[in-house]
Structure 1
């Protein structure tokens, strides 16, 4: 068999095996590498490279070496899940850089970080003044987690005492011009609803690049043709505006009528509707 064919076959074989080995090791192996995982990744790649470019190398030896470098990280990961001390040894521990607003100089030196390195990491977290930080810790993955001081944190609805409606993640119901039935079912919607909403926008499914629906059955659409403007969902704002108009009309009717009984009924219903509006406003904004 020609050597170039041998190289092609060995390359495809080893790359396929490497793909599955990496997948079995888990997403953590890809996203956050500790020292041991980093070394394992380099060695596995090296084994594949050596045995693909050399047609005279023994494929069986390459497979054995790959298996060993797969099983060792897998075993280390398994033991790490069971033992914190072993996990600390293989993955390392977090190091506090700022505590109670004070920079821990000894910990910086221990990790080989200069003041410039610390400031750079803080800027990565959109913090430009070290005095604004209450707590900062260097994670084993090398990222710096930062907790700003309370007065430097952005206001939240909880801080303002506001009650907001619960919100779940939107679902992609059309992708690349094709309807996705499972996400529609997750939202208790169907294709008839989808077609009706698209008809309101005068859009056909084939022209939709991406469409997403939320738990309030509001549909947002992105078309293949970027020059065509698609209106934003208006159902909830229109509903809120309609409720407010009805409440205002009841107040006007109460002022306009001369009948005391009717005036009383209008006023009572106006107050009830005002209370209902206050309750649903967080859900309709």
Structure 2
């Protein structure tokens, strides 16, 4: 057995297909995604945003729970997006879900019947891989991707707002015929996130090697993004400084705070 803190500090195990390889280009899937509006710009989360979430006093209690150590399945081979999802359920979600359930049930006294981690649920034209729901409010959507899909430079090379370039400068420099400054896979995946943001603005992407957190509702009172004044918030992790389990757990705390289930300092 291990504590919750010890469990989330572990990196995802190296399984066949998880080693970095050739860049895998994704394609638009479905009419509803193709017509969704991609954000033109993004802005980085504050550097300590998720570290702060992991320091939640309520979470610290739940990180003391004892969890069994996961056994590695030798049959895993990350050849498809479905394989990534199956491995993610075992090595990423299980420990994180037990910790967040302990927080919600034993510290916030929420009825277990009002907590869901639902897979492949359909709401209108949207069908996210996983969505987290508490008291009827969806507070995080998790999307799995094929390995070697999430590349930081696709998002940050031309679209990231910062001291050296404003949102207006980025938008003004978008090439004629392009609808966003995001490049390659980011231009496509962001459209999918935009579609899902109609039911939840907080989207986490995972291709097993890397993770990305996107907040499509960064404005006051969770208003949707504005490319000029409130760009989509962005965070990239390769799992080294912050493990994938730590980041997902921190994102869940962030999401619970956004929907008002957990206080800003709780």
TM-score (norm 1): 0.19
- Which structure has the bigger radius of gyration? 1
Instruction: Select the structure that is richer in helix.
Output: 1
TM-score (norm 2): 0.21
